[in-house]
Structure 1
Amino acid sequence: MLTIGAHLSITKGFENIGLESLSIDANTFQFFPRNPRGGKAKPLDSTDVGALEELMANTTMDVILAHAPYVINLASKSEKTRNNAYELFEDDLRRLDNLPNNMYNFHPGSHVQQGPEKGIELISESLNKLIREDMKTTILLETMAGKGTEIGRTFEEIQSIIENVEMDEKLGVCLDTCHVYDGGYDIVGDLDGVIDEFDSIIGLDRLKAIHLNDSKYGLNSHKDRHEKIGQGEIGLEAITNIINHEKLRDLPFFLETPNDVEGYKEEIKLLRELYEY
C-alpha cells in the first residue's frame, strides 16, 4: 500500500487535519507543530489528541510527521541563536510525546562560515542533550540542497552527525527528492546508484521517510525550489520509479509541492494510479 500525505495546516486541530487528509485519499500527513518561524506553540488539546489517536487506530493512517520550524539552527555561530533553537526543539519533542506514532523532521542547519566540521560538532552536541531515553519520537535529519552554508547536502555530512550522537537509535533520515537532486545526486539517471550510496554511507535502515517533490532547477543547482509532481526537472518517470522502487516503496511519502489542498488531492490520485500494487 502506498503511504502518502501532504503538508497541511493544523490550525483547526489534529482531528480535522486527519479527516482532511482522508478526504484527499491520503493516509498520513506532515505538519508544523508551531509557526515555521518559531514563536510560542498553541497548547495541546487532550480531547483533540484523543480523537486523532482514535482516527489512526481505525484507519490505515499509522504514522505522522512533524516538521521543525525553519528558524532552528543548532549549528549557528551565534550562541543566542543556538540556545533559541535548542529551546524550540526541546519543547517540540516534549509536546510530541503526547501524540501517536510520530517523527520529527528538521533541517540540520547552516554553519555560517564556521566550516561544516564545526557545524556538525555543534549539531551533534545539541542532539546529545536533547535526546531522552524515554522519548517516543524519532528525530529525522533531512537531506539538503546545499545552498549557502547548509549542512546535510552530502550523505557523509548526515552520517557524521549521526555517528557523534550517543543514542543514535533515536535518529533517522528523511530524504527530500528535490534536495538530493539539487544537491548533486542523480536520482533521475542513476536511482539505484544513489540508493546504494546512501546504504553504504548511512544505511537504509536509517531511512524513515521521503519528501516527494519535483525540482524547479534540477541537478546540482543547489537552489531548493520545489515543483509540482511531473512539472519539474525530476519528471514523472523518475518520480514513478522512486515510489515503486523495492527499497523505497514501503516508506511514507510526504508531498511539499507548491499546492493547495485540491492540488495535493490531484497529485495523490496520480501517484496512486502510478503505484504498482
Structure 2
Amino acid sequence: MLTIGCHLSSAKGYTAMAKEAEKIHANTFQFFTRNPRGARAKEINPEDVKIFHKKAKEQGIAQILAHAPYTLNACSADESVREFAVNTMRDDLQRMEYTPGNCYNFHPGSHVKQGPETGIAYIAQMLNELLKKDQSTTVLLETMAGKGSEVGRNFEELREILDRVELQEKMGVCLDTCHVYDAGYDIVTDLDGVLTEFDKVIGLNRLRAVHLNDSMFGLSSHKDRHARIGEGKIGLEAIVRVINHPALSHLPFYLETPNDLEGYAREIALLREAYKE
C-alpha cells in the first residue's frame, strides 16, 4: 500500500489533522511543530493526543513527520540564532514523545559565509548536545536545493554531518524530490543513478521519508520552488517512477505542493492510481 499524505496545519491539534487526513484518503501526514516563521508553539493537549492515537490506529495512519520551523538555523554566524535552534529543537524533541516512534525533519541551515565545514561542525555539535539514547524520535536531515549558503546541497555534506553524530541510530535523511533535482541530481532521466550515488555516499538504509514535490525551475536551478505534481519540470511520469522505485516504494511520501486540501486530495488519488502494489 502506498503511504502518502501532505502537509497539514497543526493549529487545531493532532485529532483535527487525523480527521483531515481521513477526508483526503491520506494514511500519513506532515505538520509544523510550531509557527514555521516564528518561535511560538501551541500547547499540547494530552486528551487530544489520546484521541489521536485511537483515531490513527483506526485509520491506519503510518509514521507521521514533524517539521521544524524555517527559523531554525543551527549553523548561523549569529550565536543567538544558534542558541534559538538548540532551544527550539530541544523543546520539539520533548514534545515529540507525546507521539512516540515518529520522525522529526529539519533543514540543516545556512552557514552565512562561514563556509560549509564550519556549518557542518555547528550542526553536528547541536545534534550531539540534544540527541538522547532514550528518545523514540528519529531526526531527519533534509536534502536541500543549494540556494545561497545552504548546508546539505549535496549528499556529501549530509554524510559529513551524520559521520560526526555520536548517536547515529537516532538519525536519518528525508529526500525532497524538488530539492535534489534543483541541486543537480537528475531524478528525471537517471533516477537509478541518483539512488546509487545516495546509497554509496549516505546509505539507502538511512532514508526514512520522501518529500514528493514537482519543481518550478528545474535541474541545477538551486531555486527551491515547489510545483504541483505534473505541473513542473520533473513531471508526472518521473514522479510516478519515484513512488514505484523498489528502493523507495516502501517509504512514506509527503506532498508539500502549493495546494489546498482539495488539491492534495486530487494528487493523492492520482498517485494511488499510479502506484503498483
Alignment TM class, shorter chain as reference:
over 0.9
Aligned-partner residue type, residue 125 of structure 1: Q
Whether 1:110 and 2:104 are equivalent positions in the alignment is: no
Partner of 2:131: 131
Which SS does the other structure have where 1:248 is aligned? coil
Partner of 2:233: 233
List per-residue Cα deviations over 1:202-240 (Å, max 9, x = no partner): 000100000000000000000000000000000011001
Which SS does the other structure have where 1:28 is aligned? coil
For the residues of structure 1 that align with 2:191 and 2:228, how far apart are their CA atoms?
20
Whether 1:145 and 2:158 are equivalent positions in the alignment is: no
For the residues of structure 2 that align with 1:9 and 1:208, how far apart are their CA atoms?
22
Long gaps (5+) in structure 2: none
Whether 1:37 and 2:30 are equivalent positions in the alignment is: no
Partner of 1:211: 211
For the residues of structure 1 that align with 2:71 and 2:204, how far apart are their CA atoms?
28
Which SS does the other structure have where 1:51 is aligned? helix
Whether 1:224 and 2:224 are equivalent positions in the alignment is: yes
List per-residue Cα deviations over 1:13-49 (Å, max 9, x = no partner): 1111101101101000000111002323111100100
What is the Cα deviation at residue 56 of structure 1? 1.9
Partner of 1:175: 175
Aligned-partner residue type, residue 37 of structure 1: R
Structure 2 length-normalised TM? 0.99
Q: Is the 8 A contact 2:100 2:137 kept in 1?
A: no
Q: Is the 8 A contact 2:101 2:138 kept in 1?
A: no
Q: Is the 8 A contact 1:53 1:100 kept in 2?
A: no
For the residues of structure 2 that align with 1:37 and 1:89, how far apart are their CA atoms?
15
Aligned-partner residue type, residue 200 of structure 2: S
For the residues of structure 2 that align with 1:110 and 1:10, how far apart are their CA atoms?
26
Aligned-partner residue type, residue 135 of structure 2: M
Aligned-partner residue type, residue 212 of structure 1: L
Whether 1:187 and 2:158 are equivalent positions in the alignment is: no
Partner of 1:18: 18
Partner of 1:86: 86
For the residues of structure 2 that align with 1:87 and 1:40, how far apart are their CA atoms?
12
Which SS does the other structure have where 2:29 is aligned? strand
For the residues of structure 2 that align with 1:273 and 1:57, how far apart are their CA atoms?
24
Structure 2 matches for 1:41-56, cutoff 5 A? 41-56=41-56
Which SS does the other structure have where 2:198 is aligned? helix
Partner of 2:97: 97
Long gaps (5+) in structure 1: none
For the residues of structure 2 that align with 1:266 and 1:40, how far apart are their CA atoms?
32
Which SS does the other structure have where 1:58 is aligned? helix
For the residues of structure 2 that align with 1:239 and 1:209, how far apart are their CA atoms?
15
Aligned length: 277
Aligned-partner residue type, residue 126 of structure 1: M
The two structures, once aligned, show a CA RMSD in angstroms of: 0.7
The structure 1 segments of at least 4 consecutive aligned residues displaced by more than 6 Å after TM superposition are none
Q: Is the 8 A contact 2:3 2:62 kept in 1?
A: no
For the residues of structure 1 that align with 2:39 and 2:86, how far apart are their CA atoms?
13
What is the Cα deviation at residue 100 of structure 1? 3.8
For the residues of structure 2 that align with 1:205 and 1:14, how far apart are their CA atoms?
29
Q: Percent identity?
A: 59
